[in-house]
Structure 1
């Protein structure tokens, strides 16, 4: 499955590298109260910087990143996609995390990424890195509109989808979309856990 085969539908616009900041800013606003990301970055500015950098260097050029007007955004990676930032972009990513985050954020990020990599499924799957709706736009069904096109494509192609839920408040939403818990991930003792969730494709 490639991003080009996914019909995003009305209102959803694929983001190029030039619009990576839009994806990062929307995502950071949506994740501002997220327990795991608050622990990881410590400050909202650091969160925004990191999401912008990851959108620019990984998810816009290699995966599928898109926005729903200025209200929501999502970042996905297709089966076999490379989640590792390119070597040339690592200094920028390092600065993005360290420049505006609280002390120790880069070390926490490395531990978190290591734990996430160990838990990541090995079979072909579509990976949902982030999905979020701005806090002022919640309660309008926009999350379901954001997630639906890729899940529909997963069902068509017979592919599972995987995510790490970083906020217990979102468990019901993901469950209603067909995701089930397959494990818990702890970056370190005392860190808010991530919930590894997998969705098997549905028959169309």
Structure 2
């Protein structure tokens, strides 16, 4: 397809956040975080901006040259195993379980800080951070696809696949793993075709939609020929 892709920087923030805001405004997870549409319209962009800032600090942001599609990646090192094991367990975290006072001395942790920055009165901003942290695999270093978005007017052109392929080809060459959480069946099926497998149990948000944690092993040239 030959889509031109480049790394985004701080100067792209406004345009990328606008794109993420438009692409995810009606997403099931965004609708769960902000069930009131007026509140979502007002605050959803702030959440996308926070995600952009994290990606610049923890990984990188890829954007098509025409600005129609963007992918936010985090580079995650192998941890000590104290966080999630990749499997969501019913009842592990529920809306109402987390409070700002739950974090230890020495400052705010990520979900608490995100909630304070984006929407202090909205517990769900923190809850989803807790839930995704709990299932995130920590035993092996990997590239984490946090978000990928295509402008609503440009969907169906293969732009998202091109963005993914650019990073996944590097993962295959260098033997790196990749991880993501799919937020709807359509994206889950796309990721499956690109070599991701659903791992363990699904993540069912409290009174909300289902998410699929997915892991991708680096693929050899022979395997790619067999599955292409």
After TM superposition, is the score higher than 0.5?
yes
Q: Matches of 1:31 and 1:159 in 2, distance apart?
A: 28
Q: Partner residue of 1:66?
A: 62
Confirm or deny: 8 A CA contact 2:8 2:62 kept in the other structure. Answer: yes
Alpha-carbon shift at residue 78 of structure 1 (Å):
1.2
Q: Partner residue of 2:26?
A: 33
Q: What is the RMSD of the two structures over their aligned residues, measured on CA atoms?
A: 2.6
Q: Partner residue of 1:97?
A: 118
Does 1:52 find its partner at 2:70? Answer: no
Gap change, CA 1:196 and 1:167, over 3 Å in 2:
same
Gap change, CA 1:79 and 1:95, over 3 Å in 2:
closer
Does 1:157 find its partner at 2:174? Answer: yes
Gap change, CA 1:81 and 1:63, over 3 Å in 2:
farther
Alpha-carbon shift at residue 97 of structure 1 (Å):
2.2
Where do residues 163-174 of structure 1 align in structure 2 (5 Å cutoff)?
Answer: 163-174=180-191
Where do residues 69-80 of structure 1 align in structure 2 (5 Å cutoff)?
Answer: 69-80=66-77
C-alpha distance after superposition, 1:72-122 (max 9, x if no partner): 11100113299xxx97x99995465228xxxx53x1121111111110011
Confirm or deny: 8 A CA contact 1:59 1:76 kept in the other structure. Answer: yes
Confirm or deny: 8 A CA contact 1:179 1:200 kept in the other structure. Answer: yes
The normalised TM-score by structure 1 is: 0.80
| Ranges in structure 2 where 5+ consecutive residues have no aligned partner | 80-106, 222-228
Alpha-carbon shift at residue 33 of structure 1 (Å):
2.1
Aligned residues: 185
The normalised TM-score by structure 2 is: 0.72
Q: Partner residue of 1:4?
A: none
Q: Matches of 1:191 and 1:113 in 2, distance apart?
A: 15
Confirm or deny: 8 A CA contact 2:145 2:178 kept in the other structure. Answer: yes
User: Which structure has the greater CA radius of gyration?
Assistant: 2
Q: Partner residue of 1:109?
A: 125
Q: Matches of 1:44 and 1:134 in 2, distance apart?
A: 17
Q: Matches of 1:24 and 1:81 in 2, distance apart?
A: 29
Confirm or deny: 8 A CA contact 1:115 1:186 kept in the other structure. Answer: no
